[in-house]
Amino acid sequence: MASETLTSEATRGEGKRRAILDVAHDVFLAQGYAATSMSEIAAKLGGSKGTLYNYFRSKEELFSAFMSDVCSDQAAIYFDPLTPIGEGKSVRESLIDLGVSLLEFLLQDDFIAIHRLVVAEADRFPELGQLFYEAGPQRGELRFTEKFRQAMAAGHLPEDDPKVVGQRLKDLVMSDLYLRRLWGVLGELDPTTLRAHVTQSVDIFLRAFGPARVEPPHTT
C-alpha cells in the first residue's frame, strides 16, 4: 500500500512538472524571458506561486529546464534512430543521414524561436547564453564527438580529433541555411532541397576529413 501511494505521488508530481513546462514553453516563447514572471506562470497553471517554487526555485531554473526539455527530447527523436557512421551503409550515406537529421532538428520552429529569444535578451541577461549553450549546443557537440570517435575507432574515418571533425561537419551543414532561417528570410525547405544541401556539405567535408582516395593503378 505504501509503495502504491509513493508511486501515485510520483506520478502526480511528474504530471505537475510536465504541466509547468508546457505553460512555460508557451509563455517564454510568446513574451520572452524578461517579460515573463513566475507569478504569471503560476496564474496560468491555476495554482499558487509557492507550489511553482516547489518544482523550480527560480525563473532562471525554470527557463533552463524548459530549454533542456525542448532540446533533449527532440534531439533523441532525431538522432537516436541513426546507426553509427559507416555501419550498414557507406560513410558518405551515413554522414548525409546525420546531416539531414541535424538540419531538420535545428530548423524546427521552437529551436529557432529559442535561439532568437536568447540572442535578443543576452545583453540584459548574459546568463541565458550559458543556459542555452549547456541545454542544447553543448550536448549536441558531445553527441557528435562520440559519433566521430566511434567511427574513427572502427576504422571508418582517419584518426583525428573527433570533436573538431564533428564541428566541421556541423558548420558545413548549417552554412547559409540556418542563418537565413534565423533571420526570417528563408521559408520551409522541401526534403529534396535540404538533402541536396547536406549532400554537397558532406562531399566537401569528405574531401578534407574522409578516407584517402585510392588512385587507380597506372597502365602502360
**What are the structural domains of the chain?**
1-57 (1.10.10.60), 63-209 (1.10.357.10)
Burial code (b: 16+ CB inside 10 Å, e: under 16) for 137-155 equals eeebeebbbebbbbbbeee
* Cβ pair 125, 34 in contact under 8 A: yes
Mean of the per-residue pLDDT values for the chain?
88
Residues of the chain with pLDDT under 70: 1-10, 212-220
Question: What predicted TM-score, i.e. pTM, was given to this entire model?
Answer: 0.84
